[in-house]
Amino acid sequence: MRVALGVSYNGQAYRGWQSQPDGQTVQDHLEAALARFATQPIHTLCAGRTDAGVHGLMQVVHFDTAIDRPAFSWVRGSNTFLPPDIAVQWAQIVPAAFHARASATGRRYAYVLLQSSVRPSVEAGRVGWVFRPLDEAAMRAGVQYLLGEHDFSSFRAAGCQARTPVKTLRRIDIARRGLPDGADGAMLHGVQPCYWRFDFEGDAFLHHMIRNIMGCIVAIGQGLRPPQWMAEVLAARSRDAAAPTFAPDGLYFLGPQYDAAWGLPTHTAAYHWLP
């Protein structure tokens, strides 16, 4: 039978999702835990690979097995053998036609950014960081050029294995968070501390695409480039035209989107943790 799992993880300690020879990836740890529970090797396929340091709030995987066990036993059994920063959130028996990657109609990511003159401490590894204030209006104007179907070659990593750089960005939301109700927050060394959350939704994403877009958004937000520069970068179709790749720390894979007919969960406790 085919089993689908929803998996959450803190990516700080891992070399990304995809299996590596040293075994220090999320996939390696998940498959090792599944094998110990099932007492036989299990290979998983995921909805979307994540880089080293990137977090997953609802990665979806599937695997085939001849073992007949209740769905929730895969949750408890796998979590028994997983490290504390990886957890299976749910399990569901699915039709053989379901494919974690191919059945996805979209994917969602969020980037959480701390604006402060002082670097992160409690949030280290969980948020990106800027020490200059950001202009929300400028950032909103800049990202409008990215919406729709485009060739995103300018935001594509050199090692990207995607068959085409043409993707569709359906939504980019920007929200400022973490300030007390009715207050603007205290200035610290001339910078108003706050958190920014950037939400991205699209059909699929290229390797480093969001981190490269974030580098450009921050450059615009800090006034280093005008909003229309984003259109110039996009049109150039060259990685050299864009800003440097931004840190992975604040990037979260919120999960894939599927047709409701599959009956899969769309949110988890881990998903709601993110501010």
pTM of the model: 0.94
Q: Kindly tell me if the per-residue pLDDT of 191 is higher than 60.
A: yes
Domains of the chain: residue spans and CATH: 2-103 (3.30.70.580), 106-253 (3.30.70.660)
Predicted pLDDT at 224 = 97
For the chain, give the percent of residues with pLDDT over 70.
Answer: 95
Name the residue with tokens 């974690």: 100
Predicted pLDDT at 56 = 96
> pLDDT confidence of 188, banded at 50, 70, 90?
low
Burial readout 51-87 (b: 16 or more C-beta within 10 A, e: otherwise): bebbbbbbbbbbbebeeeeeeeebbebbeeebeeebb
- Collapsing DSSP to helix, strand or coil, 156 comes out as coil
Residues 138-180 pLDDT 10s:
999 999 999 999 999 999 998 888 899 999 999 999 999 865 5
What residues act catalytically?
51
- 97: tokens are 């036609």
Residues 66-76 pLDDT 10s:
998 999 999 99
C-alpha to C-alpha distance for 66 and 76, rounded to whole angstroms: 19
- CB-CB neighbours of 230 under 10 Å: 24
Predicted pLDDT at 185 = 54
Predicted pLDDT at 192 = 82
C-alpha to C-alpha distance for 171 and 148, rounded to whole angstroms: 9
Q: What is the 3-state secondary structure (H, E, C) of 36-51?
A: HHHCCCCCCEECCCCC
- 32: tokens are 């090792």
> pLDDT confidence of 186, banded at 50, 70, 90?
low
Name the residue with tokens 């007919």: 261
- 51: tokens are 């880089």
CA neighbours within 13 Å on the CB side: how many for 141?
A: 14
Kindly state the greatest CA–CA separation across the chain. 62
> What one-character-per-residue DSSP string does 111-135 give?
EEEEE-SS--STTTTTSEEESS---
Residues 215-271 pLDDT 10s:
999 999 999 999 999 999 999 999 999 999 999 999 999 999 999 999 999 888 877
